[in-house]
Amino acid sequence: MPGVKKIIAVLPGDGIGPEIMRAAIALLTDCAATFGHQFEFRELPFGGSAIDRTGNPLPDATLAGCKSADAVLLAAIGGLQWDKLPLEKRPEAGLLRLRKELGLYINLRPVRPRPALRGISPLKPERLGQCDIEIIRELAGDIYFGKHERRGEGANAWASDVAEYSTAEVDRVARYAFERAESRRGKLTSVDKANVLATSALWRQTVTALGKKYPTIELEHMYVDNASMQILLKPDQFDVILTGNMFGDILSDEASALAGSIGLIPSMSRGKEGTPALYEPIHGSAPSLAGKDVACPIGMISSASLMLRESFGLETEAQWIEAGIDRVLDHGYRTIDISSPDSRVVRCSEFVELVRGDVHDALTHTERYGWGV
């Protein structure tokens, strides 16, 4: 495949964000050099660091840079020093606005425990099974984007958050989920609370009607409380899970524990074909770890490889990076948060250099590793 030219908007953000972003950029730079691609990285202020510099978590220049890029790579945002600000001025408000401005309405979170790390999962191996789940979450509607009201103080306080969905909003994310299921094992679990919520009743009705157009897909519906239990009891029963914004936020964080750490899971947020998608690890900014070179970079690196696969169509390159991570883990190297007594504990920067060295070494062993570079 001839080399590609891509512009990547880079949002290091706050806390451990700059450290783990450096890890991803290093491997993407190696990838470009190895496979003959050209990646232009445009670093832009975002989140709390942007508030400190400009007073705005999403400066106009950052938004423009994201819109003109081929993809957006985000590390992490937020921190205690900005939590006292009004909700609409916090770093997280910048992320909600960015999603809206980019038209992102689908979130994809793959949960696949890494072979070398199955021992750190809270589930026993026999219960974990062959866990391989994709959680697809609607991202632009629901209670997060509905009307928020609060009146009064103290004992007389009152608050309201409105959840809203239209048939069209449900249909567009459900179509994507059915297509993902077609490319995988052919099973789709739609999660709702249709016995209580009007939005969930509409959700189930819409998904059921659409399911008739995908006769090869096994469609099941599950209430969210049961789904949260089943994810822990028998995770390998799931293939693709489809759900709304708030339920998806909760369930995907719960499911990340199956892999052993929230720091291991990547995500993609996307909109219409041809518009830039946003890639980020699902963990937070971990302010207490910032600047200590101890954060786990796997979620961030995996987000970069997900970008290669989903936005750029570079499957071999994505596998190249992922295999490098797995081989370093196979050698027993771990950052402190995913370590065990017999681990070879290394710092974040050291782990990255090990992966970089390993993938370069793989190029001299094409028969062993199967890289057709």
Please give the positions annotated as active site.
144, 193, 225, 249, 253
218 phi and psi angles, rounded to 5 deg: -80, 110
3-class state of residue 10 by DSSP: strand
CA 82 to chain centre: 23
What is the rounded radius of gyration, in angstroms, for the C-alpha atoms of the chain? 21
Please, which residues have CB within 8 angstroms of residue 330's CB and are 6 or more apart in sequence? Answer: 115, 116
List the end-to-end C-alpha distance of the chain, in Å, as a whole number. 10
CA distance 275 to 311: 10
CA distance 190 to 177: 9
Name the amino acid, one letter, at 134.
Answer: E
CA distance 255 to 119: 16
Which tokens in the block code for residue 350? 């050291």
